[in-house]
Structure 1
Amino acid sequence: MTYLPTARDALSQALTDPKFTRKYWFGCWQACVWAKSDPWKPMFPDGRVANGEVLEIDPPNRLALKWRNKFRPELRDEGFSHATFERDPSGDAAKLAVIHEIDRPNSKFIAFVSNGWPAILCSLKSLLQTAPQYCDPTLPTDPASRSLPSGQQQCDVAVGLLQCMRIGAK
């Protein structure tokens, strides 16, 4: 779980808009219509395409996806996992909880994504703090109004985010 400096609607857009996703997900974007049961395909800059499905979509509250890693045999063999993004308002910010689970004890896949989600969330938070106009058109676009107070870190330490996230087997 992390708190992001944006409105819940804008966060919902940030999670689904492929142009915005590329900016914080290290060049990855998603090909999707964003309707229940539709295919969800993360597209990687090196040409790889993952496969998944939208299980639930309730903007701006919740998004649930299923996917499998088909690029690494030891992860592919574990089958599909479920990633749920729960969003709640919290003052001027939005609280985002990412729950990634698979019905398999001691999952290598969950261990793998446990290293990825903190980096992705850190990148998203940094982008929202330094360039909020990408996500929320109601926020000021003047660079002086976007600057962080002296000494404020761009994002939470990845380990701290990982400890807050509810990641594990079902």
Structure 2
Amino acid sequence: MSQQDRAATQAGTHAAQESVFVYVTYIRTAPQALWTALTSPEFTARYWHGVRAESDWQPGSPWQLRFADGRVADSGEIVESEPPHRLVIRWRNQFRPDLNAEGDSLCTMEIVAQDDVAKLTVTHRMARPGSKFIEAVSGGWPLILSNLKTLLETGEVMMPLLFKPD
């Protein structure tokens, strides 16, 4: 077996041992404005249905998503922070016991300037196959990021309803 074939086999084996969700969108905004939208508690509450992202966004710092009533929805740690291009968060669900039991996931947000738009790629992964958490975020991220895109481009959110946890 060639070195290239071995690498492809190892990559396939690695992929089979994890769950991954990837979402790419293009937003008519500058990378810095998108970074601010992703990291400002006041701004996140507008497109994330009242949920606020809280951190100082420095590597090693704690990170939380808080419901409007103050309860912690998710928590973790900032792994990498390269404003306004890359943010990596160790992420764990706190409000659903079945998702919390799966452990930590890793969420990577990459922002790339392309002409007059910013390309946002969100990759959320968990080191376990068939993750219920990754299944859940695969339904949540498209709604949240569509709201973010609409807010940045029009000044209004697409779906202003507050999130109702189970």
> So what's the TM-score if we normalise by structure 1?
0.75
- Match status 1:26 vs 2:26: no
Residue type at the aligned position of 1:92: D
Structure 2 gap segments, 5+ residues each: 1-23, 159-166
Cα distance in 2, alignment partners of residues 70 and 40 from structure 1: 12
- Match status 1:82 vs 2:106: yes
Structure 1 gap segments, 5+ residues each: 133-153, 155-170
Task: Tell me the equivalent position of 1:115.
Answer: 139
Task: Tell me the equivalent position of 2:91.
Answer: 67
Task: Tell me the equivalent position of 1:4.
Answer: 27
1:45 equivalent among 68, 80, 86: 68
Aligned length: 134
- Could you tell me whether the CA contact under 8 Å between 2:39 and 2:54 is conserved in 1? no
Task: Tell me the equivalent position of 1:104.
Answer: 128
Cα distance in 1, alignment partners of residues 56 and 141 from structure 2: 23
Cα distance in 2, alignment partners of residues 62 and 102 from structure 1: 19
CA-based RMSD: 1.5
Cα distance in 2, alignment partners of residues 69 and 34 from structure 1: 19
Deviation at 1:46, TM superposition (A): 3.2
- Could you tell me whether the CA contact under 8 Å between 2:91 and 2:105 is conserved in 1? yes
SS at match of 1:10: helix
Matches within 5 A, 1:121-132: 121-131=145-155
The Cα offsets for residues 75-122 of structure 1, whole Å up to 9 and x where unpaired, read as: 111000011100001110000000000000000000000000000000
Deviation at 1:60, TM superposition (A): 0.9
Residue type at the aligned position of 2:108: T
Runs (4 or more) in structure 1 with deviation over 6 Å come to none
> So what's the TM-score if we normalise by structure 2?
0.77
Moved more, 123-132 or 64-73: 123-132
- Percent of aligned pairs with the same residue? 50
Deviation at 1:47, TM superposition (A): 2.7
Residue type at the aligned position of 1:27: G
